[in-house]
Amino acid sequence: MTKADAARLVAIVVTAYPNFDKFKDAKAIEATVNLWAMMFEQDESGIVALAVKKHIATNKWPPSVAEVREIMLEIQHPELIEPDKAWLAVSDLMYSAGQFNHGDLSRQLPPLVARAVESIGWTSLWEMHRSAYIGGKPGMDRVAFMQQYTPMYEREKSRSMTPAQLTEKIDNAAGSLPDKGQRLIEYRESERRRKEQEMEAITRGALRLESQSVEQTKLELRGEVLG
């Protein structure tokens, strides 16, 4: 977005909130234009404009940069699901798949939601869900999921809202430090994925052999009947 685009959007905001005291100062308006030009420099002006219009339609006060970027996040990252909606998806999956869910969570749920469920464990989550029906405290499955998913969501939300150029600079600064904690976390996750793929391949192979064995048995039985 150019400075001219920023000026046009700020003018719309000023018009939409005529009683806002700050907009009675020309220098304050100019400072806002400069700030928006800097903070939305790498963004498409059309997306920023959509976010500004939604804010104007739903809020009584002018938008901050963070508020505009939060609405932009909704538009550009529909895969990033709010915690309450994420839990509804998990709850629906538990109802439809049941205890023995042999499906691929990454295909059944949005990526971040699936990762949260994986970290808890489907069986553990199901046992918490089931305990409510046998005298346990109800809602513990939801509590466990929300405690795991909410901070993951907030981190991803913060990262996605941050301008790409600023994120790159932060990553470069962090990468120059000797801390290896993040790398170890990433390595552990990659190893888990690799192990899951190995187990899936073994399972597919076993099922294929079982299917072939069944077919062979059928052929043998058919031959005996015909003979």
Average pLDDT of adjacent 10-residue blocks, the chain of 227 residues: 97 95 92 97 96 98 97 94 96 90 85 94 92 85 97 95 88 72 72 72 71 71 64
Using only C-alpha atoms, the chain has a radius of gyration, in whole angstroms, of 26
Q: Which residues have a Cβ under 8 Å from the Cβ of 40 and sit 6 or more positions away?
A: 1, 6, 48, 65, 68, 163
Rounded CA gap, 45 and 47, in Å?
Answer: 5
Task: Tell me if 48 sits within 8 A of 9, measured CB to CB.
Answer: yes
**What pLDDT is recorded for position 171?**
79
Taking CA atoms, 98 is separated from 84, 135, 138, 203, in Å, by: 21, 19, 17, 20
**What pLDDT is recorded for position 51?**
98
Coil vs helix vs strand at 44: coil
> How many other β-carbons are positioned within 10 Å of the β-carbon of residue 165?
10
**What pLDDT is recorded for position 224?**
63
**What pLDDT is recorded for position 218?**
67
Q: Kindly report the pTM of this predicted structure.
A: 0.72
The position carrying tokens 């187990």 is: 199
Task: Tell me if 56 sits within 8 A of 13, measured CB to CB.
Answer: yes
- Nearest 5°: the CA angle 16, 18, 24 is 130
Cβ burial, residue 216 (10 Å; 0-12/13-18/19+) = exposed
> How many other β-carbons are positioned within 10 Å of the β-carbon of residue 83?
17
**What pLDDT is recorded for position 117?**
95
Coil vs helix vs strand at 206: helix
Spans of all domains in the chain: 3-76, 83-175, 180-227
Q: Which of 80, 72, 77 is nearest to 110 (CA)?
A: 80
Q: The tokens of 114 are what?
A: 């699936």
